[in-house]
Structure 1
Amino acid sequence: MSKSEILGRVRDSLKANTHIPSPKVHYANPMNYTHAELLEEYKLNQTNNKAIVRESSVDSLESTIEQILKEVQAKQVLYNTDVKLELTGVESKLIPYTQSVDLAREELFGIDTSIVQARCGVANLGIVGLSANPNAPRLSSLITNNCIYLLKKETIVENLYAGIESIKAYERERSGKEILPTNIIFVAGPSRTADIELQTVFGVHGPRVVYVVVY
């Protein structure tokens, strides 16, 4: 049986069986956070996850990023095409991510820093949520030594469920379709792994240094 046939039967079944419960969240946090409190909780937990959090604003975002690029001594900066910035005060080479890794593997894996637009931040876990699409390839958050995530304050949500729903809504609006992204990624901080002797090593599976700019 083909994939389309299976999905077709599922859709037909959902239409015929209206008693199937809706997969809505069945819990609520008894604490009613203000957005300012949610922001502070997010910053605390994200910092505990070893990310470097910088608070900025829409007007000062570019200068904040330029300062970070100087701090990490970025030589080449990969940015996704959904990142709309004009970084005129840096000496780093700015490289838009417009080519497939199959065509530019050597160049992409030689870049030291990337800039990625986050879709949401999850306050109670201290993580950022990403979605992969043609304007934001998944590798942009994985292949560089340093990664700078840009996070709008209004996209910070309380929990993981709300984060997933936020990303799904973003992708539906972006594409105008019900098709979900090929990847939804949540990042806590720098890549960390440990061997059998419990020696933690940074940067094996992703960036060694992670900044989150909240604006």
Structure 2
Amino acid sequence: MSTSHRGAFLSRVTEAVRAGSRYRETQRSEIPPSVGYLGAGEDPIARFMEELRTVGAHPQRTGTREEAGALVRTLVERFTVQRAIVNATRILRELEILETLRGAGVEVATPEELAVCDEATRRDRCFAADLGVAAADWAIAETGSLVYASGPQQTRSATLLPPVHLAVVDCTRILADLIELPAKLQERSVDGVLPRNVALVTGPSKTGDIELRLTTGVHGPGEVHVVIWERTAMTNVEVRMTKE
């Protein structure tokens, strides 16, 4: 391109940019603000499960420890799980996930146990795990996403390293959309300090870097299974048993 042609080209570009930046009056759009907003609909759990399946995860609802335990044992058998990393959060203790895994002959590592290991041992145990189990802090129904906030009882290795990830979601912690999440994080803050790390996991790990082909399980878990714990159902069962 000659100097004169280059100058003419740049002049046209400059003029076009200036024309686009000029002040002009606009009219308010008649499109209602609700258009394009999905949210969770009338049934957040059903919407969450639908989106989970869409992104390649495998959801299952449960109302009892027995059902949750049966699912865990099924995963252990299906994927020949020998080692697991389990975040020792309250919901996992209530569902007795650690006991179920150990009862199935799985070697379990918790954040407390890993904390006392030297760095090399801790790294080796994490990378050797076949299964990672964690309770999601929240879930997003609109996108089928799991939300994990860092904390003393939660190691990110449980959600990032093992090839199979099992997430447990309390149905009362399913949010309609991402718009609700910042307020929940603020509630979790201590003296205004937010969690150091917040991760949103939407289905199994995927990448399209290799020849523009979508590949699953390259940078993280290739299998994501989600147990949705309907706490109300479990509580009602326990109340009936107590009365009987």
Q: How does 1:88-103 map to 2 (within 5 A)?
A: 89-98=103-112, 99-100=114-115, 102-103=119-120
Q: Provide the residue aligned with 1:5 in structure 2.
A: none
Structure 1 residue 204 corresponds to structure 2 residue 218? yes
Structure 1 residue 120 corresponds to structure 2 residue 138? yes
For residues 127-181 of structure 1, give each alpha carbon's deviation from its aligned partner in whole angstroms, at most 9, with x where no partner exists.
Answer: 1111111110222210111110000111111101213433442x33xxx543211
Unaligned runs of 5+ in 2: 1-32, 230-244
More helix by share: 2
TM-score scaled to structure 1, two decimals?
A: 0.76
Cα distance, 1:75–1:213 mapped onto 2, change above 3 Å: same
The answer (yes or no) to whether the contact 1:120–1:167 under 8 Å persists in 2 is: no
Q: Provide the residue aligned with 1:195 in structure 2.
A: 209
Unaligned runs of 5+ in 1: 1-26
Q: Provide the residue aligned with 1:75 in structure 2.
A: 82
Q: Provide the residue aligned with 1:151 in structure 2.
A: 169
Return the index of the structure with the highest Cα Rg: 2
Q: Provide the residue aligned with 1:38 in structure 2.
A: 44
Give the total of aligned pairs. Answer: 183
Amino acid at match of 1:41: R
Partner-residue secondary structure (3-state), 2:166:
strand
The answer (yes or no) to whether the contact 1:129–1:163 under 8 Å persists in 2 is: no
Cα distance, 1:146–1:33 mapped onto 2, change above 3 Å: same
Structure 1 residue 55 corresponds to structure 2 residue 61? yes
Amino acid at match of 1:102: E
The answer (yes or no) to whether the contact 2:140–2:177 under 8 Å persists in 1 is: yes
Give the Cα–Cα distance (whole angstroms) in 2 for the partners of residues 31 and 185 of structure 1: 20
Give the Cα–Cα distance (whole angstroms) in 2 for the partners of residues 206 and 81 of structure 1: 21
Q: How does 1:99-110 map to 2 (within 5 A)?
A: 99-100=114-115, 102-103=119-120, 104-110=122-128
Using the TM superposition, give the Cα deviation of residue 33 of structure 1 relative to its aligned residue in structure 2, in angstroms: 3.8
Using the TM superposition, give the Cα deviation of residue 38 of structure 1 relative to its aligned residue in structure 2, in angstroms: 1.1
Structure 1 residue 163 corresponds to structure 2 residue 200? no
The answer (yes or no) to whether the contact 2:60–2:226 under 8 Å persists in 1 is: yes
Q: Deviation above 4 Å: which 4+ runs of structure 1?
A: 27-32
The answer (yes or no) to whether the contact 1:193–1:201 under 8 Å persists in 2 is: yes
Give the Cα–Cα distance (whole angstroms) in 2 for the partners of residues 161 and 91 of structure 1: 42
